[in-house]
Each structure stands twice: as structure tokens, then as C-alpha cells.
């Protein structure tokens, strides 16, 4: 997987791109970068959605729970959460083809 220079600059954690999609990177000017990960194969038993802040990882059972937490904490707006849900569905469809 190729990553743009802008994203590469903010990516400060280890990600297994064979197991996860890079759903989004939320970079703040004076805040830590937040990396949102989605599993490539959500039908497996240990497929979790992840949010990594620096080296700390938090794992969620569903995309809705992950994005709801991000909205409640203030990392993103509800509109951005809906757009990420659509992006994930499109990535899953593209990956299945």
C-alpha cells in the first residue's frame, strides 16, 4: 500500500496493512495524531476496529461504536463520521471485487 507524504509524516504507529484498512488520519496542529483502522475481513472472530493515538491503541467491536466515540470526544463531526462509514463500505466492496 502506498501512502502519501502528508499521511506518512503523521503516521507514528505500526500498522499491519495486510489486516487493516487505513480508514482515516486525524492530524491536529497541537494535538496528537489519531489513526483510525478498519479490518479487511470483518467476518473473522477477532476483527476489531482500532483507534491509535501515538502508540496507545483502543479497539472497538463495530465501526459505529468507534465513530460514535470519536464524535462524542470531539475528534470529528457527525458528517465526517457518516462520510467515513460510506468510505469503509466502498473500500469493502472494492476489496471484495
pLDDT digits (tens, 9 = 90+) for 56-87: 889 999 999 999 999 999 989 999 999 999 99
Q: How far is CA 61 from CA 9, 27, 65, in A?
A: 28, 24, 7
Burial of 23 per CB tally in 10 Å (0-12, 13-18, 19+) = buried
pLDDT digits (tens, 9 = 90+) for 24-54: 888 877 778 888 888 887 777 678 998 988 7
The SS3 of residue 34 is: strand
Q: Alpha helices, DSSP H only, in 1-97?
A: 5-10, 63-73, 78-96
Q: What is the pTM of this model?
A: 0.79
Amino acid at each position: 500500500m502506498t501512502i502519501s507524504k502528508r499521511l506518512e509524516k503523521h503516521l507514528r504507529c505500526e500498522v499491519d496493512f495486510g489486516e487493516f484498512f487505513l480508514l482515516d488520519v486525524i492530524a491536529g496542529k497541537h494535538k496528537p495524531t489519531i489513526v483510525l483502522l478498519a479490518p479487511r475481513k470483518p467476518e473473522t472472530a477477532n476483527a476489531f476496529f482500532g483507534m491509535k493515538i501515538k502508540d496507545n491503541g483502543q479497539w472497538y467491536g463495530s465501526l459505529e461504536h468507534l465513530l460514535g466515540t470519536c464524535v462524542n470526544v470531539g475528534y470529528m463531526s457527525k458528517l465526517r463520521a457518516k462520510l467515513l462509514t460510506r468510505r469503509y463500505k466502498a473500500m469493502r466492496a472494492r476489496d471484495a471485487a
